[in-house]
């Protein structure tokens, strides 16, 4: 039985990997918003197709595919449930994965959502909670995320890890594309001349001569020192202070406080190209691209958490407007736009809970980062929607009771 990792974003359903017993409640639906959905069973795709053509609405929602053992194998979202579901039955134009999913499907279930944004949120919630087979095949759940870490003193270095231990000097992420992260970590270590050897390699700082016995071995343990890519803390070639300065510089880049490494690399690359040193220019370009990718990813995560706090009013397919309460990049609650004093009171309580939450952990969990990136991606795609956003104070003002 699989369990999704949780941090309050999604709670795992008991026996979620076994017999499907419904999508369950959602944090992204107002408490008084009824659930509208359908469920059809048939071994024949033609009959399932007929039910879709007859009953599936042209409205947003999520859908699930259930196999012959009663297990949910796939969850998807749709702007139009009818159009999306019918696409599974078009053999000549459907994606090969869609055909594979349909061959495993014996029960088709769907649930309508208020709008496309709600459908996106619900899909992510269900994938995190239920972890259907074909949603995570090849990308096993949320374990695809990892973190970039700055290790412990006295000779810390940058490395990628699946999960922080809590003893690091700095943790950044979560990130995806482990290969790119490993490459960026290697290039950071080279630039700031930090070691990347195993912890078992003994250290021998220059300001600690008492560490060397009469037969002490001060030779470097790898070629990086000879190539000028390491300060050589294993060979007594640097002091603790010198090495610590390199670590602080690396952390300043990862924190976004000092990005001069990017401009320096760009200038060196341009100078090498101008001098017709194309091999060197290519190597510098590769290093620059690796660090630019890392910088853009970390900048996105920082900005998403720092700037994305507001109320998002959105009119649903049913004509009713809902408030999405978004704080630090995550949707905390959803309610109908208040129109009565009772509704204003409930909305005010939700606002206080959503925006008055305690301090966030320094590093997002793998579960939370998917929610943050979903919100960021939505507003990048729908930039015009930002003009409709309400600040916390404006929303609270609209929740004040009317005077009789």
Answer yes or no: is pLDDT of 70 > 80.
yes
Q: What are the φ and ψ backbone dihedral angles of 94, each rounded to 5 degrees?
A: -80, 160
| Structure confidence at residue 210 as a pLDDT band (50, 70, 90) | low
| Structure confidence at residue 211 as a pLDDT band (50, 70, 90) | very low
Distances (CA, A) of 159 to 29, 89, 149, 195, 256: 40, 46, 5, 11, 18
Sign of the CA dihedral 19, 26, 379, 361? negative
Pair 350, 47: CB distance under 8 Å: no
**Residue 222: CB partners within 8 Å, gap ≥ 6?**
197, 230
Query: What is the per-residue pLDDT for 252?
Result: 96
Answer yes or no: is pLDDT of 16 > 50.
no
Q: pTM score, two decimals?
A: 0.75
Query: What is the per-residue pLDDT for 93?
Result: 86
Report the CATH superfamily, name and number, of domain 37-142: GIY-YIG endonuclease (3.40.1440.10)
Q: What is the mean pLDDT of residues 312-320?
A: 95
Answer yes or no: is pLDDT of 317 > 70.
yes
Answer yes or no: is pLDDT of 11 > 80.
no
Tokens of 260: 């001069």
pLDDT in tens, 109-125: 999 999 999 999 999 99
Instruction: Give how far the C-alpha of residue 229 lies from the chain's centroid of Cα atoms, to the nearest Å.
Output: 32
HEC profile for the chain?
Answer: CCCCCCCCCCCCCCCCCCECCCCCCCCCCCCCCCCCEEEEECCCHHHHHHHHHHHCCCCCEEEEEECCCCEEEEEEEECCHHHHHHHCCCCCCCCHHHHHHHHHCCEEEEEECCCHHHHHHHHHHHHHHHCCHHHHCCCCHHHHCEEEEECCCCCCCEEEECCCCCCCCEEEEEECCHHHHHHHHHHHHHHCCCCCCCCCCCCCCCCCHHHCCCCCCCCCCCCCCCCCCCCCCCCCCCCHHHHHHHHHHHHHHHHCCCCHHHHHHHHHHHHHHHCCCHHHHHHHHHHHHHHHHHHHHHHHHHHHHHHCCEEEEEECCCCCEEEEEEECCEEEEEEECCCCHHHHHHHHHHHHHHHCCCCCCCCCCHHHHHHHHHHHHHHHHCHHHHHHCECHHHHHHHCCCCCC
Query: How large is the C-alpha radius of gyration of the chain?
Result: 27
pLDDT in tens, 237-269: 899 999 999 999 999 999 999 999 999 999 999
Q: Which of 6-20, 45-59, 255-269 has the lowest mean pLDDT?
A: 6-20
Q: How confident is the prediction for the chain on average, in pLDDT?
A: 87
Pair 336, 323: CB distance under 8 Å: yes
Q: How far apart are CA 247 and CA 62, in angstroms?
A: 47
Q: What is the mean pLDDT of residues 299-323?
A: 88
Q: What is the mean pLDDT of residues 360-388?
A: 83
Across 124-138, 178-192, 204-218, 359-373, the highest mean pLDDT is recorded for: 178-192
Answer yes or no: is pLDDT of 370 > 90.
no
Query: What is the per-residue pLDDT for 131?
Result: 87
Q: What is the mean pLDDT of residues 89-102?
A: 89
Q: Which of residues 154 and 289 earns the better pLDDT score?
A: 289
Query: What is the per-residue pLDDT for 135?
Result: 86
Q: Which of 209-213, 229-233, 244-248, 262-266 has the lowest mean pLDDT?
A: 209-213
Answer yes or no: is pLDDT of 25 > 50.
yes
Answer yes or no: is pLDDT of 218 > 70.
no
Q: How far apart are CA 115 and CA 381, in angstroms?
A: 15
Query: What is the per-residue pLDDT for 294?
Result: 96
Residue 330 β-bridge partners: 327
Pair 144, 127: CB distance under 8 Å: no
Q: Are strands 330-336 and 321-327 parallel, antiparallel or unpaired?
A: antiparallel
Q: What percent of the chain has pLDDT over 90?
A: 61
Per-domain boundaries in the chain: 37-142, 145-304, 308-398
| Structure confidence at residue 142 as a pLDDT band (50, 70, 90) | very low
């Amino acid at each position: 039985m699989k369990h999704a990792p949780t941090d309050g974003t999604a709670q795992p359903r008991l026996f979620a990997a076994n017999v499907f017993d419904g999508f369950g409640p959602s944090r992204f639906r107002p408490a008084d918003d009824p659930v509208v959905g359908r469920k059809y069973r048939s071994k024949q795709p033609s009959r399932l197709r007929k039910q879709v053509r007859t009953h599936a609405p042209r409205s947003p929602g999520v859908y699930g595919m259930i196999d012959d053992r009663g297990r949910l194998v796939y969850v998807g979202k749709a702007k139009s449930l009818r159009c999306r579901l019918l696409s599974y039955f078009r053999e000549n134009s459907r994606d090969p994965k869609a055909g594979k999913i349909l061959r495993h499907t014996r029960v088709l279930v769907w649930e309508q959502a208020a709008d496309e944004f709600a459908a996106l949120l619900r899909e992510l919630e269900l994938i995190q909670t239920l972890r259907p087979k074909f949603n995570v095949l090849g990308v096993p759940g949320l374990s695809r995320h990892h973190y970039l870490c700055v290790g412990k003193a006295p000779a810390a270095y940058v490395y990628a890890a699946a999960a922080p231990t809590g003893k690091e000097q700095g943790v950044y992420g979560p990130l995806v594309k482990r290969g790119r992260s490993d490459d960026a970590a290697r290039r950071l270590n080279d630039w700031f001349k930090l070691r990347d050897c195993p912890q078992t390699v003994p250290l021998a700082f220059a300001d600690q001569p008492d560490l060397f016995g009469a037969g002490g071995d001060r030779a470097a343990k790898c070629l990086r020192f000879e190539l000028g890519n390491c300060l050589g803390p294993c060979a007594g070639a640097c002091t603790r202070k010198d090495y610590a300065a390199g670590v602080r510089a690396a952390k300043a880049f990862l924190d976004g406080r000092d990005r001069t490494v990017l401009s320096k690399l760009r200038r060196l690359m341009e100078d090498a190209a101008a001098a017709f040193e194309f091999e060197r220019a290519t190597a510098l370009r590769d290093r620059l691209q690796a660090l630019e990718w890392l910088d853009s990813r970390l900048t996105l995560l920082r900005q998403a958490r720092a700037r994305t706090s507001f109320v998002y009013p959105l009119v649903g397919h049913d004509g009713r407007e809902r408030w999405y309460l978004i704080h630090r990049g995550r949707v905390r609650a959803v309610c109908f736009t208040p129109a009565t004093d009772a509704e204003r009171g409930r909305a005010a309580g939700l606002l206080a809970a959503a925006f008055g939450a305690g301090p966030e952990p320094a590093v997002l969990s793998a579960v939370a980062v998917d929610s943050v990136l979903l919100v960021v991606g939505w507003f990048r795609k729908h930039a015009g929607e930002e003009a409709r956003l309400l600040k916390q104070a404006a929303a609270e003002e609209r929740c004040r009771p009317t005077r009789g």
